[in-house]
Amino acid sequence: MQKILVTDLVHDLLLEGFEKAGFQVDYFPEISYTDVFKIIDQYSGLIINSKILVDKKFIDRAINLKFVGRLGSGMEIIDKEYAGQKGIGVFNSPEGNCNAVAEHALGMLLCLANNLIDSDREVRNFEWHREKNRGFEISGKVIGIIGFGYTGESFAQKLLSWDVKILVHDKYKKEINTQGGRINLVSKDELFAESDIISMHLPLTEETKYYVNEEFFNNWRKKGILINTSRGKIVQSSALLEALTEAKLVGACLDVFENEKPENYSPKEKEFYKALFDLKNIVVSPHIAGWTFESKQKLSNTLLNKILNFLNI
């Protein structure tokens, strides 16, 4: 019987689906990379989230591997080209959590626009500062979306009824569904010229690493709001902090960071993140934009169907 190793939390339907298809499923959501590397030669299938790096060394060890399934969208942890050379199918599931990410991005934006974080804390402390917490409305703004895959498109769909102008820049798309002219595919220059808010929806590649840098902020003609729910290394942290402290930005909504493991922060990183997190004009969360109860099921169902189709089961 062929075996599948599942290294992260998944919905039961994924486990049950593979078992029904005739596989033995070993479900070890707490397993470490070191332990996976030791036993991966025993498995024909692997389901991962983000802690397992499927690089050339790993693939060479995985002599029986037929497929790798990635819960979510980020493929930077998998050497897709080398896996393909070895005949290993590689799948991700951005369809499964794109709605969750889009909703989270909107939630963060509304929190920032309406000072909900500070005002919530103040009211709990019996403080009542109405004028200090006067917010601004999203209606009438120009919102730029960089990257128009599943999450970028889902974010745009949610904005269609908000009386905003939606601009999209995607280097690799010549045309998109404009929803009757309500979504506009534009150049980067046009997006920088008009956008009040820019939301990032890019995969992490060599091309997109530090896509948001000092030049990005200098080219952005308005003092706007940056939203990043994609990957931390899309944004150069030092440039972001400088833009926020020097008032090149109104604020930022950040679900992802260059280093997402506070226990591993160097003294310099601790100093940096303290300075960032002390700012009042940001809303932050611990990489949970795509992490809902519903997305857990959708991610699992999407991967299961793709892999069973690949295997002709």
In this structure, which CATH number among 3.40.190.10, 3.30.2010.10, 3.30.70.20, 3.40.50.720 belongs to the domain 97-284? 3.40.50.720
CA nearest to 71, candidates 295, 313, 232? 295
Q: What Cα–Cα distance (Å) separates residue 82 from each residue in 5, 40, 57, 107? A: 20, 17, 10, 39
Active site residue 260: yes
Q: Give domain limits for the chain.
A: 3-92, 97-284
Determine the Cα angle at 242 with ends 236 and 244, to 5°: 100
- Catalytic residue, candidates 70, 104, 201, 231: 231
- Catalytic residue, candidates 260, 263, 271, 294: 260
CATH 3.40.50.720 describes domain 3-92? yes
User: Does residue 293 sit in helix, strand or coil?
Assistant: helix
Model pLDDT for residues 216-239, shown as the tens digit of each residue = 999 999 999 999 999 999 999 999
Active site residue 76: no
Neighbours of 247 (CB within 10 A): 9
Model pLDDT for residues 96-119, shown as the tens digit of each residue = 999 999 999 999 999 999 999 999
Strand order in the sheet with 89-91: 24-27, 3-6, 45-48, 67-70, 89-91
Q: What is the DSSP string of 94-125?
A: HHHHHHHHHHHHHHHHHHHHTTHHHHHHHHHT
Q: What is the DSSP string of 226-280?
A: EEE-S-GGGB-HHHHHHHHHTTSEEEEEES--S---GGG--HHHHHHHHHHHT-S
Residue 312 is predicted with a pLDDT of 87
Q: How far is CA 125 from the centre of its chain?
A: 34
Residue 247 is predicted with a pLDDT of 92
Distance CA 180, CA 226 (A): 27
DSSP structural state of residue 212:
B
Distance CA 237, CA 245 (A): 12
Residue 313 is predicted with a pLDDT of 83
Q: What does the pLDDT profile of the chain (313 residues) look like in tens digits?
A: 799 999 999 999 999 999 999 999 999 999 999 999 999 999 999 999 989 999 999 999 999 999 999 999 889 999 999 999 999 999 999 999 999 999 999 999 999 999 999 999 999 999 999 999 999 999 999 999 999 999 999 999 999 999 999 999 999 999 999 999 999 999 999 999 999 999 999 999 999 999 999 999 999 999 999 999 999 999 999 999 999 999 999 999 999 999 999 999 999 999 999 999 999 999 999 999 999 999 999 999 999 999 999 998 8
Q: What Cα–Cα distance (Å) separates residue 30 from each residue in 9, 26, 51, 282? A: 8, 12, 10, 32
Distance CA 206, CA 185 (A): 24
Active site residue 130: no
Distance CA 270, CA 43 (A): 40
Residue 168 is predicted with a pLDDT of 98
